[in-house]
Amino acid sequence: MALNPTTQPGPAGGAAAADTPAVELRHVSLAFDDKVVLRDVSFTLLPGHTKLILGASGSGKSTILKLILGLLRPDAGEVYVGGERVDQMEERDLLRVRGGLGMVFQEGALFDSLTVGENVGFKLYEETHRPLGEIRARVEEVLGFVRLGEFIDRQPSELSGGQRRRVAIARALASKPGILLYDEATTGLDPITAITVDEEIVKLRDLEEVGSIVVTHQLRDAFFVATHEARRAGGRIEVAPADAAKADEAEFIMLKEGLVAFEGNAAELRASTDSYIRTFLS
């Protein structure tokens, strides 16, 4: 694969109006052949907020993200991104809507024939007309944000799993999307590396005001994102436990066999008496 940089100035990706939900699912159902993956799922994500979607493997979590991006279409229900209905959009209109979204795939899904810098700047090089120097500066900025600046000219195969996830976050962030979608961003990572990735998610949410939907089955990481916040203190960025009001802003959704089994904040989740939820949390 080659990069096709162009050199004329152009606009960046868009963002939703303050009162329009960033993402909304209404009574969405989807089945693959005989297997029902999602059943009458509805939720709303407001701009700048966080949604944490929990559930066992195969419960439909990643499918929700693919529906939001328009990579899949539901059998029933409606999907809205920034107030626009995306479940019946043509591919060329979807390409425009995706301008406001960033996705971090499981395993990173980096393009292995391109360097780290080319991966991170891919959307800017390919789909915008910004000067190359400006794009390189942005790439260095976001790689600095995930603390991988010195890897800019390396190949993805030279990176560890955790480093690849962080490059994937940088790639999703480079075009300044209004919403970031994380698909099992920490699955398969050791606890220390997972916390590093969680801190990046928290920093992006609190310092760049990017709304996020975090799909995971790792409780530790979900609760970390819900109960921590990032602050600038004396020229540095620190991630520390959040106060109660901030922690309440993160909403949990638990999926069980395609249905929404729980919706609420971290405290409500911990206090739930549902046997499935208690088993999941134990």
28: which strand partners? 41
Q: What would the DSSP string read from start to end of 207-239?
A: HS--EEEEEES-HHHHHHHHHEEEEEETTEEEE
- Which one of residues 17, 95, 137, 240 is an interface residue with another protein (CB under 8 A)? 95
Q: Does 76 bind another protein (CB under 8 A)?
A: no
29: which strand partners? 76
Smallest gap from Cβ 269 to another protein, in A, equals 29
Find the part of the chain contacting another protein (CB under 8 A) among 37-45, 64-72, 189-197, 204-212: 64-72
- Which one of residues 29, 44, 106, 155 is an interface residue with another protein (CB under 8 A)? 106
Instruction: Show the binding pattern over residues 196-235: x = contacts another protein (CB under 8 A), - = does not.
Output: ----------------------------------------
- Which one of residues 80, 122, 262, 280 is an interface residue with another protein (CB under 8 A)? 122
Helices (H), the chain: 61-69, 91-97, 116-120, 122-127, 132-145, 161-173, 191-207, 219-227, 244-249, 266-271, 275-281
Q: Which is nearer to another protein, 185 or 239 (CB)?
A: 185
**Is the Cβ–Cβ distance between 253 and 51 less than 8 Å?**
yes
Find the part of the chain contacting another protein (CB under 8 A) among 46-54, 80-88, 102-110, 239-247: 102-110
Q: What is the DSSP letter of 146?
A: T
- Which one of residues 17, 27, 111, 137 is an interface residue with another protein (CB under 8 A)? 111
